[in-house]
A and B are shown apart, each in its own frame.
Chain A
């Protein structure tokens, strides 16, 4: 399959290993990968802040660049939800609506793509650690992703998953919300990390680097004894 990979802006800049892991996993499965240089961001920060005109300026470019793709894989539930669910909303009643709907049909979040589209769960990974999983809100509630990452983790040798009580509770990132209401956002994050710590896991795993960025920021500031890692890195670990 010819897969077009959408690498979100913060993964490109801060978490390149996540993108590299996805490329390596998909290539090992025999697929051809294209990472279009022109695509940098889905436009979600301005969209969630109410600036839909500015968002459309970014999104039309994305629509245009991805119109010929066979299938698009996004390494984030949040950016995935933006393109899959919110682009059609953003362009409702506009000439680009058809293109947005067409793109929506062929966009997959990474773990969903592996399990639902490819039907693969065993990637031959080995990760001998105790982990707990954070369900990113957009992946969980906008895209309905819950079983997919767990099916993948179940096949990882040595990995022990201990579910935390607050697995589905928001970590408080919420994009620009985290800067507009830092005290609320941080309090939410503290609750999340407290729940993860209760499991005594070594890692918080998630399919969303943005949530992990927020949690890691709090963990580093407060010297909490836990680390964060993206699911793709776990699945690429041998």
Chain B
């Protein structure tokens, strides 16, 4: 494979982390618990498989009629005084948000979890412009203190032990070391409560946007999004255009489904609808409510009739949690905003296929992701299609030559048999070069023994027998 800098970095990091047995144990331990609670909640659905079909149908309809649903959403939101902004790319989205922040003469900004924010690098842009931005989601806050990217788009700090989090807090906040999760939460809460009160602007994401009512829905467990959206005078919600759901009643399916698939909860601690700024007569709420609708090449993915269903994703993370690749290489190795199978499917579309093709090749195509996806995205087959597209665009000359040669060998049984005979001779001498730079099979033999060509092949046995 021709190697891009992103691919080289990926391979280098993967080689290191896959040998890190501590990492392996931490991730396996964390996800084992997830599987148990997820299965318990799945069993409470009357029929989980039927629910998946239904959810997939609703999202498929939404994705295929985005034009009408987005217009309906915007119209309904604007009717209540919300402001809708359309951002065709990351730069435009940053410009819109910076524009609002400047206009409000903001001093402090608080943020709840928003993956599209990572996608457009909004923190960096705001900090560069001189604003303080504080993440209010506990996991995100820990990552921010450590100057790390989220490890997982649902559980940003799942790779860290309590001890490591305590160390981070001690170093950055001066708190006393502790091993108690409650205590760690309280340390963060004490700092963050101050930030909410001071903040002029709250930035959030959206899990769903309801066309029928012009509202956004946010799912969370910590209550931090509520504070982020309700306390500051201005609320900015940044979301991908694919987050639309046609009807309010769709949430009856999607909220439990997101909770179940995402973290093994039938409903998360808080599910809140936000429908605009404070209305006349209302005591609380932001004075201004902005929604930034981000395309950033989602419409390119929409144009792919084969892989469009990837826009059905509600970022529950279920595919990451079952992916043996993710479990072994971890979230940071991907080097992308969206990790795991869904990240490997959409990143080549949202960014560049040739630059990120290593992600579509780094899969055993086992299909655990597709089986887990609550909205039935055909994830592993999309990886296969992207491999085809990557090679059709730009083949690797020696791979093409190899497979052309293989076709000749496979299409002529006598050549294949000759190859087996040569293999039998070759394997006598192979130990001399095994796992050395001279070994043509080194990619295999560095960690594994090669199988042996049998003294009598099946074909030889068969013709002899007849």
Contact A191 B462 (CB under 8 A): no
* A11→B371 CA distance, assembly (Å): 29
Contact with A along B441-466 (1 / 0, CB 8 A): 00110111111111011111111000
Selecting from A34-42, A107-115, A126-134, A155-163, the interface stretch reads: A34-42
Contact A54 B407 (CB under 8 A): yes
Contact with A along B4-39 (1 / 0, CB 8 A): 000000010011001100001000100000000000
**B387 contact set on A, CB distance < 8 A:** 48-50
Contact with A along B177-218 (1 / 0, CB 8 A): 000000000000000000000000000000000000000000
* Residue in A closest to B424 when the chains form the complex, CB atoms: A13
Chain A: residues with CB nearer than 8 A to chain B? Answer: 7, 9-20, 23, 35, 37-41, 43, 45-46, 48-52, 54-55, 57-58, 61, 137-138, 140-142, 168-170, 172-175, 177-189, 191, 213-214, 216-218, 220-221
* Residue in A closest to B463 when the chains form the complex, CB atoms: A37
CB contact between B449 and one of A184, A187, A220 (< 8 Å): that residue: A220
- The interface residues of chain A, by DSSP majority, are classed as helix
Contact A188 B364 (CB under 8 A): yes
Contact A49 B399 (CB under 8 A): yes
Contact B454 A15 (CB under 8 A): yes
Given A177-B365, A178-B444, 5 more A-B residue pairs with CB atoms under 8 Å apart are: A7-B459, A16-B458, A138-B367, A177-B361, A188-B324
Tell me which residues from 406 to 425 in chain B have a Cβ below 8 Å from any Cβ of chain A.
406-407, 409-411, 413, 416, 420, 423
Contact A38 B451 (CB under 8 A): no
CB distance from B353 to the nearest CB of A (A): 11
CB distance from A81 to the nearest CB of B (A): 10
Contact B423 A13 (CB under 8 A): yes
**A11 contact set on B, CB distance < 8 A:** 458
Contact B19 A48 (CB under 8 A): no
Contact B458 A12 (CB under 8 A): yes
CB contact between B454 and one of A14, A45, A174, A214 (< 8 Å): that residue: A14
Contact A217 B449 (CB under 8 A): yes
Tally of A-B Cβ pairs under 8 angstroms: 191
**B11 contact set on A, CB distance < 8 A:** 181
* A43→B409 CA distance, assembly (Å): 11
**B367 contact set on A, CB distance < 8 A:** 137-138, 140-142
Contact A180 B448 (CB under 8 A): no
Contact A180 B450 (CB under 8 A): no
Tell me which residues from 376 to 404 in chain B have a Cβ below 8 Å from any Cβ of chain A.
384, 387-392, 395, 399-400, 403-404
CB distance from A178 to the nearest CB of B (A): 7
* Residue in A closest to B386 when the chains form the complex, CB atoms: A50
Contact A137 B364 (CB under 8 A): yes
**A181 contact set on B, CB distance < 8 A:** 11, 14, 361-362
* A38→B443 CA distance, assembly (Å): 30
**A177 contact set on B, CB distance < 8 A:** 361-365
Contact A48 B413 (CB under 8 A): no
CB contact between B458 and one of A7, A48, A186 (< 8 Å): that residue: A7
* A14→B325 CA distance, assembly (Å): 28
Q: Is B293 an interface residue (CB 8 A)?
A: no
Q: Is B329 an interface residue (CB 8 A)?
A: yes
* A230→B403 CA distance, assembly (Å): 28
**A50 contact set on B, CB distance < 8 A:** 361, 387-392
**B457 contact set on A, CB distance < 8 A:** 12-13, 16
Q: For chain B, which range describes its interface: under 10, 10 to 19, 20 to 34, or 35 or more residues?
A: 35 or more
Contact A141 B458 (CB under 8 A): no
Contact A183 B15 (CB under 8 A): yes
Contact A180 B361 (CB under 8 A): yes
**10 cross-chain CB contacts under 8 A:** A16-B457, A19-B458, A45-B406, A49-B387, A58-B411, A137-B367, A141-B370, A180-B361, A217-B448, A217-B450
CB distance from B261 to the nearest CB of A (A): 18
* A48→B365 CA distance, assembly (Å): 9
Contact B452 A14 (CB under 8 A): yes
**B406 contact set on A, CB distance < 8 A:** 41, 45-46, 54, 58
* A40→B406 CA distance, assembly (Å): 11
* A54→B387 CA distance, assembly (Å): 14
**B324 contact set on A, CB distance < 8 A:** 169-170, 172, 188, 191
CB distance from B416 to the nearest CB of A (A): 5
Given contacts A13-B423, A51-B391, A174-B366, contact A184 B328 (CB under 8 A): yes
CB contact between B18 and one of A57, A61, A142, A187 (< 8 Å): that residue: A187
Q: Is B149 an interface residue (CB 8 A)?
A: no
Contact B451 A174 (CB under 8 A): no
**B14 contact set on A, CB distance < 8 A:** 181, 183-184
Q: Is B1 an interface residue (CB 8 A)?
A: yes
* A226→B362 CA distance, assembly (Å): 28
Given contacts A51-B395, A217-B450, contact A37 B443 (CB under 8 A): no
**A141 contact set on B, CB distance < 8 A:** 366-368, 370-371
* A234→B251 CA distance, assembly (Å): 51
* A17→B455 CA distance, assembly (Å): 11
* Residue in A closest to B405 when the chains form the complex, CB atoms: A54
* A138→B328 CA distance, assembly (Å): 20
Contact A218 B361 (CB under 8 A): no
Contact B454 A137 (CB under 8 A): no
Contact B413 A37 (CB under 8 A): yes
* A58→B367 CA distance, assembly (Å): 25
Contact B448 A214 (CB under 8 A): yes
